[in-house]
């Protein structure tokens, strides 16, 4: 709904956001996740959520929860919020190192406000070299709070494009799995690759992303890695744009990059994520399998 930096000069207006939600409702979309930036500071969020629920669309948000007070959480729940994905980067120390002093505490307080308002909450953490040591502490905190921790693989995209040194090797993932195993067995922790599987890539198959300016991409990560826009919802119907996503040559080429990555002699877990494949392809790495 907004950018994580400065306000864009061409951000969609509230009326355009509501128009997009109406199109999605008529298109038969099952779920809309409002993200950013930070969606909870958007003046259009509450009306957009109410409208989506009128079409029986499941509504969720991706948030850092910093701006969520008890009153805001109740307002979100009343408007129809079904679930919140709260981003936490490992332990309190590692999270604050990335996001600033006190950020962990403010995010945790906002998350607890959501729980108190009867909103379903999941914590998302990205497993990367600089934060992996804090994952067990985060899992412990999540268990105490009664929320699930979902561990995602790092994707070298956005502000972290080219930072392939943060990618974890196969053995490092096994170490994370071992350290989190008690929490996995108790149903506290879930996530990509922790069970040995690859997961599913939604790009161009089950989902798409509408950027703050209305441009449509197959994936938010791929949009930062050179994927061309498939159209803009301010200028044409979403359904027409989706048809172009389904026939995307870019996604076909990305699938080739994925096959190449999985077949390369790199000490990385196999993946079905197109963005990981493209991110690694754009910034070749020298992590070889152990002999």
Determine, yes or no, domain membership for 268.
yes
Determine, yes or no, domain membership for 171.
no
Domain extent for 231: 205-291
The predicted model gives 102-118 an average pLDDT of 97
Chain segment 266-279, per-residue pLDDT in tens? 788 888 899 998 88
DSSP string, the chain: ---SSSPPTTPPPHHHHHHHHHHHHHHT--EEEE-SS-GGG-TTHHHHHHHHHHTT-EEEEEE--TT--HHHHHHHHHHT--EEEEE--SSHHHHHHHH-TTHHHHHHHHHHHHHHTT-EEEEEEEE-TTTGGGHHHHHHHHHHHT-EEEEEE----GGGTT-GGGPPPHHHHHHHHHHHHHHHHTTSEEETTTTS------BTTTB-EE-TTSBEES-HHHHTTTPPP--BTTTS-HHHHHHHHHT-HHHHHHHHHHHHHHHSSBSS-----HHHHHHHHHS----BPP-
For the chain, what is the domain count? 1
pLDDT of residue 285: 45
pLDDT of residue 10: 83
14-28, 77-91, 183-197, 236-250: range with lowest mean pLDDT: 183-197
Please check the confidence at residue 62 and state whether its pLDDT lies above 90: yes
The predicted model gives 31-45 an average pLDDT of 94
Enter the tokens of residue 6: 């400065």
What percent of the chain shows pLDDT beyond 90?
Answer: 64
The predicted model gives 54-73 an average pLDDT of 97
Determine, yes or no, domain membership for 46.
no
Determine, yes or no, domain membership for 265.
yes
Determine, yes or no, domain membership for 29.
no
In which band, very low, low, confident or very high, does the pLDDT at 288 lie, cut at 50, 70 and 90?
A: very low
Please check the confidence at residue 60 and state whether its pLDDT lies above 90: yes
> Please, what is the average pLDDT of the chain?
90
In which band, very low, low, confident or very high, does the pLDDT at 199 lie, cut at 50, 70 and 90?
A: low
Determine, yes or no, domain membership for 159.
no
Determine, yes or no, domain membership for 279.
yes
Please check the confidence at residue 280 and state whether its pLDDT lies above 70: yes
pLDDT of residue 289: 37
pLDDT of residue 218: 94
Please check the confidence at residue 70 and state whether its pLDDT lies above 70: yes
Determine, yes or no, domain membership for 209.
yes
pLDDT of residue 5: 59
pLDDT of residue 52: 98
């Amino acid at each position: 709904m907004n950018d994580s930096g400065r306000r864009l000069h061409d951000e969609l207006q509230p009326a355009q956001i509501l128009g997009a939600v109406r199109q999605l409702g008529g298109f038969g979309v099952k779920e809309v996740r409002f993200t950013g930036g930070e969606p909870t500071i958007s003046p259009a969020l509450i009306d957009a959520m109410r409208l989506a629920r009128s079409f029986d669309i499941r509504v969720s948000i991706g948030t850092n929860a910093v701006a969520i007070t008890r009153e805001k959480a109740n307002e979100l729940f009343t408007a129809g919020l079904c679930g919140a994905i709260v981003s936490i980067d490992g332990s309190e120390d590692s999270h604050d190192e990335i996001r600033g002093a006190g950020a962990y505490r403010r995010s945790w307080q906002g998350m607890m406000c959501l729980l108190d308002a009867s909103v379903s909450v999941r914590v998302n953490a990205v497993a990367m070299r600089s934060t992996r040591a804090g994952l067990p502490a985060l899992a412990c905190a999540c268990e105490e709070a009664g929320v699930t921790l979902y561990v995602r693989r790092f994707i070298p995209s956005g502000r972290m494009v080219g930072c392939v040194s943060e990618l974890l090797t196969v053995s490092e993932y096994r170490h994370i799995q071992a350290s989190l195993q008690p929490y996995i067995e108790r149903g506290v922790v879930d996530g990509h690759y922790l069970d040995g599987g690859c997961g599913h890539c939604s790009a161009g198959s089950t989902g798409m992303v509408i950027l703050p300016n209305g441009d449509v991409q197959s994936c938010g990560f791929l949009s930062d890695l050179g994927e061309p826009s498939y159209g803009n919802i301010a200028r044409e119907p979403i359904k027409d744009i989706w048809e172009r996503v389904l026939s995307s040559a870019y996604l076909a080429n990305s699938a080739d990059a994925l096959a190449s990555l999985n077949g390369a002699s790199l000490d990385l877990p196999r993946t079905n994520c197109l963005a990981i494949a493209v991110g690694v392809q754009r910034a070749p790495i020298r992590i070889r399998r152990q002999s």
